Amino acid sequence: MSLIKAGMRWMILIIVVLLLTGCWDRRELNNQALIFAWGMDLKEDGSYLATAQFPIPRELGDSESAARKASFTITGSGNSVYEAAKDLQTKVSRAWFAGHRRVILIGEKLAKKGLSNIIDEYSRNPIVRLRTDILIVKGGTAAELLSLSYPLEQVPANAFFRIHEAAGTTPDLTLLKFLMANASEESCPVLPVITAQNDSNSKLKLWGTAVFNKDTKLVNYLTLKKGMIVEWIKGELDGTIRTVKIPSEEGNMVVEINHLSTKVKTSADENDNIRIQVVLGAKGVLRENNTHLDLFQTKNISMVQQYMNDQTSTEVKRVIKEIQARGTDILGFGLSVHRQHPQQWKVLKEEWPQHFQQAKVEVVVKINLEESGMTGPSIGQKKSEIRS
Amino acid sequence: MAKGENIHRNDALPEQQLNPSLYQNEAYLKEIFQNCSDVVFRPLHIEGRMHVLIIYVNGLVDTKGLEEMLLQPILTAWHNPELDKLSYFKELIAQQALAIRQTALVNDISQIVKGVLNGQIALLTEGETEALLGNMCEYEKRPIGEPGTESVVRGPREGFTESISTNITLIRRRMRSSKLKFEMTTVGEMSQTGMSIAYIEGIVKPGILQEVRKRINGIKTDAILDSGYIEEFIEDTPHSPFPLVQNTERPDVVVASLLEGRIAIMVDGTPFVLIVPMTIWSAIHAAEDYYEHFIYTSGIRLLRFILLSVSFLLPSLYVATSTFHPQLIPEALLLTIAAARENVPFPTVVETLLMEVIFEALREAGIRLPKPVGSAVSMVGGLVLGESAVRAGIVSAPTVIVVAFTGIASFSLPRYNLGLAFRLLRFPLLLLAGSLGIYGVGFGVIALIIHLVNLTSFGVPYLAPVAPNLSSNMKDIFIRMPRWTMNKRPAFLVDENMVRTPAGQDPAQNKESRK
Amino acid sequence: MQISGRQLFWLVFSIEIVLTMLYAVSAAAIEANQDAWISMLLAGLMGFGIVFLIVKLSMRYPQQTFVQYSQTILGKWGGKIVILPYFIMWVYLNSMALRNSADFVYLTLFTKTPLYVIMVTLLILVIYVIFVGGLAGIARCGELMGPIILVVILGTCMLSINHLDWHHLTPVFVDSGWKNIMQGSISGVAFYGDIIMFTMIFAFMSNSKQALSVTMWGMALTAVLVVAASMMVIMTFGSILPTRMWAPFFGMTRFISVLGFIQNVDILFVIIWLFSAFIKLSLFLFITVYGTAQWLNIKNWRILLWVFAPITLVLALLPQNATAPIKEYVQHFWIPFVIPVNVIGIPLLLWLVSVIRGKSMQRKDEFN
């Protein structure tokens, strides 16, 4: 027993010594600069420019100074992400901490050059969250956008995130989806696009979607509307609105659609000709009626539905054509072929971009207009104008 | 203590037979009770000769009863020739002096001394070598009041007093069974404190009972002033900060524990009765848990477990996350904390330790001080220290909130002594958190678990029935099931007579059968 | 020192689950892509086979530990020689378990704290529990921590559900084929092979009849959860990313976000990792110490703790980087050496010899 007691005493001694000499990783909050947003740009000489946005805690706590700017940005340059970040550190009085970095902005120039070199750091560091929103700055640099102030949010960094969130997507998953598409053999990655604008208090605007090729180089932009159609085809969209033009009437109708569904049927013959059938389904609720049609009439409803389906399908076809022309499969067609014809995929995958470009796509839209709202005919119209 | 070393005791007198001469006996006893101003020698002189000597301790004996029942009959019968004979007095007492409960004849002076000191009266007569001891013990007692440490909203309000006989009565009134036993002993060489081991025969495990007897009989000390003295002598692991012996002021808790096969140790002179074996759960359960509705009780118990972990972990988690792993705190909260901490000159560990110490100081001062001053202390502490320290930027508001919440949480434990253990352990854990972050907290928690699972109280694992697990006994641990489902006594305490409540008394079932 | 069936169940579960869940999926996905879960299923079945073998063997001698009955079967010297590979395995397994545990904690929580601090503190806990409680103490810790581990794993699984896309699991089987799936399952079997350590434990059971069912249940729960975990990992990350991730299930827990407030629950995972690592290390070190004491006929087995604890620490500090202990150790030591020899070969040999000798003994009895 004495041996045990002696051993225990030694162990307690070791613990005490460890405790007293410990604190290797201890960093006080008031010695840290918390990075909330991060920007990467390409400089003229080919090196990277990193921009970090820090909140100023002193300004946040005091309610009286709410009018003052509560964040500031600092830039640093280097030949790799981490090098630029270390350069940045020489300009900040406190050690920066990236554990709360939710937003990464990437300048257009850098996006065109390719992201593969910078994306690694964002998933390697265990402190950094993989749950990050990553946005492309159209027609500008990340540094510019990060230095804008945004009065609604305590920290401007949150504005990027929340604007993206308000558009109906899960911004948390942006980086993950990008990485997954990039790593896959079928798909090409996309990223959301944000842009600076000058016409209102809000200096930011969510612009659309940026399409990348397999080398993570920016290929082209899609507007928000087209981007939504892409998401619909991929089955990631929750809901959107459609404007229906009624040829016989002046004016249009606006239908809000939700419960979106997607079915992609693929077939490949022995010559590797690919046929793809996209069936898009949804339920619609009429939100606005600027025409003379009386929507208590079933035939009018089915007419609106018919027009809506035709117009939507034309639009979807146009978007698909546009994407096909570039050979960047962001629609998940490759995945569908892979899943539905796994044996043939082994051959097809070698030259998938070409096959994708040449694939024959057929689009069927089945939106079911279920509700026409609280009124039948438009209330704003004279009785004589209403047509059943 | 080395063997053979004797404790000094003044009544360890050599055996001395009574002398036939009453005068010699008186002289001898007076020498023993020299300067004991509370010992009364009351000689009865008849015709100038001392016939009878009565000795008792003033205040321990029912003096009025003595006067009425013994002295007056003696004086009226002063001419009786049998007045010298002890047998006469014995008969007299048996017939008239009903206030005297027990009598005994002794012939040893040391026994007389012991009896007198225990509140008996000694009656010595001329010419006889025996003395009569009669029990007329009666002394001033505190009336039965509400227990101060375990008050309830609903449930009995009687609490134990300092008198062991009252306490035994309180238990017996709740348990009118001949199976309920009270074994009396005395402990303390000088104090000769009366003790009683209470248990229910047929429920208690004989092994545990034997162990309790053995440990109590092994106690050798001069005096026992509170059951806390006993507790420290009979614990399994004296070096543990956790209470291994439960104490209570409530007779209903004692009876409930006896019914679970536990043993109560009652000590004269204190209202705190010890209950062994103890498990940690009995420190988390309050008496009221069994009187209130089971759904409400289950909710309260879950709350208590949360608060228990809060009182133990919150300060260290705060330190660990804010100084080691800020990525774990949601942004908005982190910004608030960062803003509050901006001007604080201390590291978070030091700041938290400081506030904890101040809080403990306030608490201690509040207990010890007289009540009117106590409120002044809490005013100064709460308002002046807390508010102005935050205003001055010496400590940050989140730290004050954390420490205050921790304090409130630690008050929520029904048993004070378990709260003490966690209060104490909070400080090493805080240091661990300050040097190794979350890992340090994990280290501390694992060390605590190791300590707890290896603790035993009279051979019963401290965490039973959770570890070692007896799932049949889990109905009364984290939640409380309705009474008609708790059919059996805890299996880790009882071997035989397991059934408490026969099954099949679900009231819902009865309702259906009535239809 | 006796343990109940329930305690054995929690010990098996908490030792096997966490490490397998974290590391085996990644290794299996390299070979079998989105069919990694089939690999893990097969690995679970093979785990059952191993459990069946070792329990059947041990139950022939319910009162004896592996060290003792190997001598009963092969004679004194044969038995002692057979233990030698196990002795090497014990020592090596201890140090690798320590190294893995410390590496994980280090990678997830620390950047500057020296690795040896984590190892020393972990070892202190292990020594404490072995000294104070022995096997019974470890078993009670397991009984307390096992349910917590289970709750946290189930909780993280449930909170991750909204990120799942079952399409990632398709196409089933075609991309990989049996060969790759089998290859992928080997890494799983390598992790389940730890179960061989329990040959030293069955002798302590208070009711040895429960041994088979309880160990099987422990293994079954582990296997089911590991299969579920690997499916969830693939449904979250697809089939490619997990192969590039260091601990994909852990990565998945980092995606949990409920109400935008319950985030970063990965810290809970670090805590249960600590629990699991602690139980594993203490059980393995106990087995090493106790088994060696029986092997060398040393009465006071606790003394050996002061020998093996420092050895474990030194061996654990030897590997240069964090990848070596988990990848290379599995590939170059565990799979080619330990699995065929220690986990399958020797137990099978012992079992055969025991059965044959048992028969001949019976025959002798009949003659008499």
Least confident of A162-176, A261-275, B29-43, B79-93: B79-93
> What is the rounded distance in angstroms from the CA atom of residue C342 to the CA atom of residue A2?
37
Burial class (CB in 10 A: 0-12, 13-18, 19+), B469: buried
Residue at A85: amino acid letter: A
Q: CB–CB of A58/A70 below 8 Å?
A: no
Residue at A98: amino acid letter: A
Task: Please name the residue of chain B whose CA is at the shortest distance from the CA of residue A153.
Answer: B332
> What is the rounded distance in angstroms from the CA atom of residue B65 to the CA atom of residue B58?
13
Instruction: Write down the mean pLDDT value for chain B.
Output: 85
Residue at A151: amino acid letter: P
Interface with chain A: mutation pick from B333, B429, B436, highest number of A CBs within 10 Å: B436
For residue C362, what pLDDT band results from cuts at 50, 70 and 90? low
Minimum-distance CB partner of B450 among C121, C133, C271: C133
Interface with chain C: mutation pick from B333, B449, B477, highest number of C CBs within 10 Å: B449
* Chain B residues with beta carbon closer than 8 angstroms to that of C109: 324-325, 437-439
Instruction: Select C5-367's CATH number: 3.40.1360.10, 3.10.20.600, 1.20.1740.10, 2.160.10.10.
Output: 1.20.1740.10
* Chain B residues with beta carbon closer than 8 angstroms to that of A133: none
Name residue, tokens 């709260």: B419
B468, C271: Cβ pair inside 8 Å? no
Start-to-end CA span in chain C (Å)? 38
For chain C, what is the largest distance between any 2 Cα atoms, rounded to a whole number of angstroms?
78
Q: Give percent of chain A above pLDDT 70.
A: 92
For residue C13, what pLDDT band results from cuts at 50, 70 and 90? very high
> What is the rounded distance in angstroms from the CA atom of residue C274 to the CA atom of residue C290?
23
- The chains in contact with chain A, meaning 3 or more Cβ pairs closer than 8 Å, are B, C
* Chain A residues with beta carbon closer than 8 angstroms to that of B336: 60-61
Q: CB–CB of C325/C177 below 8 Å?
A: no
> What is the rounded distance in angstroms from the CA atom of residue B380 to the CA atom of residue B374?
10
How far is B501 from chain C, CA to nearest CA, in Å? Answer: 27
Element of type H or E holding A382: none
For residue A196, what pLDDT band results from cuts at 50, 70 and 90? confident
Reduced to 3 states (helix: H, G, I; strand: E, B; else coil), residue B433 is helix
- pLDDT, position B98: 60
Q: Express each pLDDT in C270-314 by its tens digit.
A: 888 899 999 999 999 999 999 999 999 998 898 898 899 999 999
**Which of B231, B227, B247 is closest to B149 using CA atoms?**
B247
For residue B364, what pLDDT band results from cuts at 50, 70 and 90? confident
- Nearest 5°: CA angle at C256, between C251 and C262? 130
For residue A316, what pLDDT band results from cuts at 50, 70 and 90? very high
> What is the rounded distance in angstroms from the CA atom of residue B90 to the CA atom of residue B86?
6
> What is the rounded distance in angstroms from the CA atom of residue C94 to the CA atom of residue C308?
9
Q: Express each pLDDT in C22-42 by its tens digit.
A: 888 888 888 888 888 999 999
Residue at A24: amino acid letter: W
Residue B61 pLDDT exceeds 80: yes
What are the helix and strand counts (H, E) for chain B? 18, 12
**Rounded mean pLDDT, A169-175:** 82
Minimum-distance CB partner of A14 among C114, C124, C263: C124
User: Residue A146 CB: number of other CB atoms within 10 A?
Assistant: 25
B334, A28: Cβ pair inside 8 Å? no
Minimum-distance CB partner of A100 among B327, B348, B437: B327
Least confident of A1-5, A33-37, B224-228: A1-5
Task: Please name the residue of chain C whose CA is at the shortest distance from the CA of residue A15.
Answer: C121
B449, C263: Cβ pair inside 8 Å? no
Q: Which of residues 459-478 of B touch C (CB under 8 A)?
A: 461, 463, 466-469, 471
Q: Confirm or reject contact between B491 and chain C (CB < 8 A).
A: no
**Which of A131, A133, A121 is closest to A48 using CA atoms?**
A121
Non-local CB neighbours of B445 within 8 Å, separated by 6+ positions: B313
Alpha-helical runs (H) found in B130-250: 164-174, 206-217, 227-234
Query: What are the φ/ψ torsions at residue C73 (nearest 5 degrees)?
Result: -80, -50
What DSSP state is assigned to residue C330?
I
Q: Which residues of B234-247 are buried (b: 16+ CB within 10 A; e: fewer)?
A: bbbeeeeebbbbbb
User: Residue B345 CB: number of other CB atoms within 10 A?
Assistant: 10
* Chain B residues with beta carbon closer than 8 angstroms to that of C110: 437, 439
Q: CB–CB of B195/B267 below 8 Å?
A: yes
Instruction: Write down the mean pLDDT value for chain C.
Output: 87
Q: Express each pLDDT in B126-164 by its tens digit.
A: 777 888 888 877 777 888 888 888 888 888 999 999 989
- pLDDT, position B141: 81
Q: Hey, where are the domains in chain C? A: 5-367
Asked if the interface predicted TM-score (ipTM) of this complex is over 0.85, the answer is yes
Q: Is the pTM of this model over 0.90?
A: no
Task: Show the tokens assigned to B32.
Answer: 């023993």
Beta partners for B273? B248
Q: How many CA atoms lie within 13 A of B343 on its CB side?
A: 12
**Rounded mean pLDDT, C327-342:** 81
Q: Express each pLDDT in A55-83 by its tens digit.
A: 888 777 555 545 567 788 899 999 888 88
Domain at A224-388: CATH code: 3.30.300.210
> What is the rounded distance in angstroms from the CA atom of residue A348 to the CA atom of residue A306?
37
Interface with chain C: mutation pick from B441, B450, B456, highest number of C CBs within 10 Å: B450
Q: Which of residues 27-86 of A touch B (CB under 8 A)?
A: 27-30, 32, 34, 36, 55, 57-58, 60-62
- pLDDT, position B226: 92
C244, A173: Cβ pair inside 8 Å? no
> What is the rounded distance in angstroms from the CA atom of residue A115 to the CA atom of residue A120?
9
- pLDDT, position B81: 67
Task: Please name the residue of chain B whose CA is at the shortest distance from the CA of residue C279.
Answer: B446
Task: Show the tokens assigned to A131.
Answer: 């749950």
Q: CB–CB of B20/B122 below 8 Å?
A: no
Least confident of B329-343, B438-452, C294-308: B329-343
Q: Hey, where are the domains in chain B? A: 22-135, 164-278, 294-460, 482-514
For residue B1, what pLDDT band results from cuts at 50, 70 and 90? very low
A25, B324: Cβ pair inside 8 Å? yes
* Chain B residues with beta carbon closer than 8 angstroms to that of A28: 323, 341, 347-348
* Chain C residues with beta carbon closer than 8 angstroms to that of B447: 125, 128
C110, A25: Cβ pair inside 8 Å? yes
* Chain C residues with beta carbon closer than 8 angstroms to that of A25: 109-113
> What is the rounded distance in angstroms from the CA atom of residue B131 to the CA atom of residue A364?
118
> What is the rounded distance in angstroms from the CA atom of residue A321 to the CA atom of residue A315?
10
Task: Show the tokens assigned to C29.
Answer: 């996905």
Alpha-helical runs (H) found in B412-495: 416-454
Least confident of A37-51, A369-383, C112-126: A369-383
> What is the rounded distance in angstroms from the CA atom of residue C119 to the CA atom of residue C105?
10
Task: Please name the residue of chain A whose CA is at the shortest distance from the CA of residue C260.
Answer: A172
> What is the rounded distance in angstroms from the CA atom of residue C308 to the CA atom of residue C289?
7
Tell whether the torsion through CA atoms of A309, A310, A316 and A317 is positive or negative: positive
For residue B3, what pLDDT band results from cuts at 50, 70 and 90? very low
C109, B468: Cβ pair inside 8 Å? no
Q: Which of residues 153-212 of A touch C (CB under 8 A)?
A: 172-173, 176, 179-180, 183-185
Residue A12 pLDDT exceeds 80: no
Would you list the DSSP string of B361-394? HHHHHHHHS-HHHHHHHHHIIIIIIIIHHHHHTS
- Nearest 5°: CA angle at C275, between C273 and C278? 105
User: Residue C76 CB: number of other CB atoms within 10 A?
Assistant: 9
Q: Express each pLDDT in C226-246 by its tens digit.
A: 999 999 999 988 888 888 887
How far is A21 from chain B, CA to nearest CA, in Å? Answer: 8
**Rounded mean pLDDT, A181-189:** 87
Listed in order, strand segments (DSSP E) in A269-382 are 274-289, 360-371
Task: Please name the residue of chain B whose CA is at the shortest distance from the CA of residue A28.
Answer: B323
Query: What are the φ/ψ torsions at residue A174 (nearest 5 degrees)?
Result: -60, -50
Task: Please name the residue of chain C whose CA is at the shortest distance from the CA of residue B436.
Answer: C113
Non-local CB neighbours of C182 within 8 Å, separated by 6+ positions: C39, C42
Residue B504 pLDDT exceeds 70: yes
Task: Please name the residue of chain A whose CA is at the shortest distance from the CA of residue C301.
Answer: A4
B339, A58: Cβ pair inside 8 Å? yes
Q: Express each pLDDT in B165-202 by its tens digit.
A: 899 999 999 999 999 999 999 898 888 898 999 999 99
**Which of C368, C276, C350 is closest to C81 using CA atoms?**
C350
User: Which residue numbers of B have CB closer than 8 Å to A's CBs?
Assistant: 322-327, 331-332, 334-344, 347-349, 431-432, 434-437, 440
Q: Express each pLDDT in B468-487 by its tens digit.
A: 877 778 888 888 888 888 88
Q: CB–CB of C245/C251 below 8 Å?
A: yes
Q: Hey, where are the domains in chain A? A: 28-216, 224-388
Peptide bond before residue B238 is cis, with ω within 30 degrees of 0: no
Identity of the highest mean pLDDT range in B134-138, B379-383, C184-188: C184-188
- Nearest 5°: CA angle at C361, between C355 and C365? 140
C240, A25: Cβ pair inside 8 Å? no
- Nearest 5°: CA angle at B80, between B74 and B86? 65
